[in-house]
Amino acid sequence: MSSSNKYITGIYPGSFDPVTKGHLHLIGRASHIVDKLIVAVAENVNKKPLFSLEERYEMLKCDIDHMIDKGCCEIEVTTFSTLLVHYAEEVKASYIIRGLRAVSDFEYEFQLTGMNAKLDPDIETLFLMASDKWQFVSSSFVKEISYLHGDVSAFVTPQVEEHLNKKFKN
């Protein structure tokens, strides 16, 4: 949390299709860095998500409700469909928080950070490395495993697993 008088807001954006335990771990860690954390579900019309924006929002909200009022910062779950930098400006975020799992994430994130800095140099990007337990967990892998009727219980919460099972029951 902030030691100065400035109230610091961070935004942790993502598609969260679906939210994984790796995402939740990063949210927990990020909640100790800022005074308010906005976890923002991106609409991203270029991707073809398995879950609707509303479903992703609800699953994420349900999963982080247990984090609220547990000694961490204020956490808010929202959705957005604009440029991330524009949304960060709108909610007065000083930081964009991004997770890195592997070197393969770095190149994309490096380019994204450079573009965001050109669009608004006052918004900083903070990178949090995934813990070794979650480095290889991705929403894409979780969906594939679930689609092929594999066990994803180690990677997602029971309520997310239930949503995946409903999507892939046929």
Give 82-85's long-range contacts (Cβ < 8 A, gap of 24+).
83/119, 84/11, 84/13, 84/40, 84/42, 84/116, 85/116, 85/119, 85/120, 85/123
**Catalytic residue status for 66:** no
**Catalytic residue status for 61:** no
**Catalytic residue status for 4:** no
Q: Are 46 and 14 in contact (CB under 8 A)?
A: no
- Which of 15, 101, 138, 167 is catalytic? The answer is 101
- Which of 94, 139, 143, 163 is catalytic? The answer is 139
**Catalytic residue status for 131:** no
- Which of 32, 47, 66, 149 is catalytic? The answer is 47
Separation between Cα atoms, residue 20 and residue 137, nearest integer Å: 8
Residues noted as catalytic: 23, 47, 101, 139
